[in-house]
Chain A
Amino acid sequence: MLELGFFYMFAGLAVMAALGVVMSRNTVHSVMFLIFCFFNAAGLFFLLDAEFIGILLILIYVGAVMVLFMFVVMMLEVNFAGLREGFLRYLPIGGMIALVLFIEIVAAGSSGIFSPEGMPDPGHAAQHVNNTVEIGKVLYTRYLLGFEVAAIILLVALIGSVVLTLRVRKDAKYQNISRQVNVDPADRLRKVKM
């Protein structure tokens, strides 16, 4: 009863926040709505006993990724009039994509695969099941290769983006921190007898 109430609260707020992302005219408000949407999605994970994934969603997406997102969006100079200009021109193609997506979702929903009978309620995990431990066990044994491959891909992406954007200017002045730290007062300071 309480759980169902929480489900409708999280799900409803998530849907409303998602609508807010596309409907709000101010990009910073959009980002705020997106953060709120992630937050509610994390709430849904908690209801499914997947507290580890829920917390990760908050930690990674809300706590880190969206901060950088917000950082970029806050710096944009948004021309609100310009944004609304092409609305009619892109309406047909946008509407078509939306229609196809809508039909797909309705078709999938009514096919019966996702019905309560097709997907029985797994029930709650037992009290002693710690899903951090369980995920760790599977991730570092059975799916170790995939995990490592994903890590390597991320590392390559990280280094690649640094290499692509790094621009060393010859005329810029840099501090050599270790030299600064190793400075001897005797080299710079001279006591004068007055």
Chain B
Amino acid sequence: MSWLDTAITAGIWALEVLAIAIPVALSVAYITYAERRVIGWMQIRKGCNRVGWAGLLQPIADGLKLFLKETIIPTTANKFLFVAAPVMSLLPVLVAFAVVPFGETTLGGLWEVAHVMAISNLNIGVLYVMAISSLGIYGILMAGWASNSKYAFLGAIRATCQMVSYEIAMGFAIVCVLMLSGSLNLAEIVRAQSGGFWHWYFIPLFPVFLVYFISGVAETNRSPFDLTEGESEIVAGFFVEYSGMWFATFSLAEYGAMILISLITAIMFLGGWHAPFPFLDVIPGTVWLLGKTAFLIFMFIWFRATFPRYRYDQLMRLGWKVFLPVTLVWIAVIGISIYTPVLSDIIGFWRPGSAL
């Protein structure tokens, strides 16, 4: 491989990265807008409608405001970690998007076989997403510790408790999906669900689907599991000392994580880029995937408008005493039905590789 080839490859990579990073950043901006409007309607008020037509320029005005604000670093803070923390919480979210498949394309018939639209179609995509997205907690821990503030530190401690309670259940939920799809590759998981919504995994794995999505809400620290923020008890939790652009970076990370969790849930349980009915396949798969993602993001917003915040012992109980047993039982249910004569025919419907 000559240097020119290397340069071309690197250039294509850079374009691919931009093709994902820029839409993610834009959608983050407009999800904040959608959230304010939707919650406004749910609470019978208008929401932001002043800047631009129907308030559509509001996210840009907000961004500009945050950008122009002064960044304050407390004198007793650990400066290096204080500045590194927002970056540490945003980085894993963006890096995890590298393996998300957005659909299959032949590029208008240019290629003979359909290629997966992902930066890297990794064999162990599911594990990669899980490993990378679990790193986001370091941003919170670092922010909480480096701020040298009691409220921030309490927020960081809560984040740890929260993480240990949902992460295991989340892992087991993924195991159930893998037992049916027989692959760790996200694109393979989607292919295994082809052919109408009755092939999607949310049907045989309904309890697990709920566990995964709710754990996802906990992972993104969204309401009702936003105990790390807990503005009514610990002011703003881990980012109480942050201002201006660094503060905005944290919300960028939160909303980015929301998109990521919604995408992964849509891919693993809601058939990814497949249409609910085969005759609807004329609409491009990417539209379906993004539509399902948008619906799940709406669910996040809906949760926020509906539920009061969990106390952290309630969250730990939910993780350890409800989610963990449910997923363990469901692994056993799937495992036993795969090897029981009559049941294996039923479960085999969702297992494309079961003939092997």
Contact = CB atoms under 8 A, between A and B. Distances in A.
Most A CB contacts (10 A, CB to CB) among B122, B138, B164 go to B138
A172 B100 CA distance: 48
Contacts of B317: 177
Contact of A51 (B123, B130, B156, B163): B123
A59 B127 CA distance: 8
Given A2-B6, A67-B163, A52 B124 contact: yes
User: For the complex, would chain A's binding face be called helix, strand, loop or mixed by DSSP majority?
Assistant: helix
A90 B157 CA distance: 35
Contacts of B127: 52, 55-56, 59
Contacts of A56: 127, 131
B282 to A, nearest CB: 34
Contacts, number: 63
B184 A51 contact: no
Contact of B134 (A2, A52, A63, A74): A63
A131 to B, nearest CB: 8
Interface string A68-92: 1011001100000000000000000
A70 B81 CA distance: 14
B128 interface: yes
Nearest to A63: B134
Contacts of A28: 78, 81, 145
B167 A35 contact: no
A63 B134 CA distance: 5
Contacts of B123: 51, 130, 132
A166 B257 CA distance: 36
B326 interface: no
A71 B124 contact: no
A14 interface: no
Most A CB contacts (10 A, CB to CB) among B131, B184, B317 go to B131
A74 B150 CA distance: 12
A64 B134 contact: yes
A41 B88 CA distance: 19
B137 interface: yes
B132 interface: yes
Nearest to B160: A71
Nearest to A130: B123
Contact of A59 (B130, B137, B157, B184): B130
Contacts of A37: none
B39 interface: no
Contacts of A17: none
Nearest to B146: A28
A35 B6 contact: no
Interface in B311-356: 317
Nearest to B322: A177
A49 to B, nearest CB: 11
Given A28-B81, A63-B134, A74 B145 contact: yes
Contacts of A70: 138, 141, 160
24 contacts: A28-B81, A51-B122, A52-B124, A55-B127, A56-B131, A58-B131, A59-B130, A63-B130, A63-B131, A63-B134, A63-B135, A63-B167, A64-B134, A67-B138, A67-B163, A68-B160, A68-B164, A70-B138, A70-B141, A71-B141, A74-B141, A74-B156, A132-B123, A132-B184
Lowest 10 CB-CB distances: which A-B pairs, in order? A63-B134, A59-B131, A58-B131, A71-B160, A55-B127, A74-B145, A55-B131, A130-B123, A55-B124, A70-B141
Interface of A: 1-2, 26, 28, 32, 35, 51-52, 55-56, 58-59, 62-64, 67-68, 70-71, 74-75, 130, 132, 177
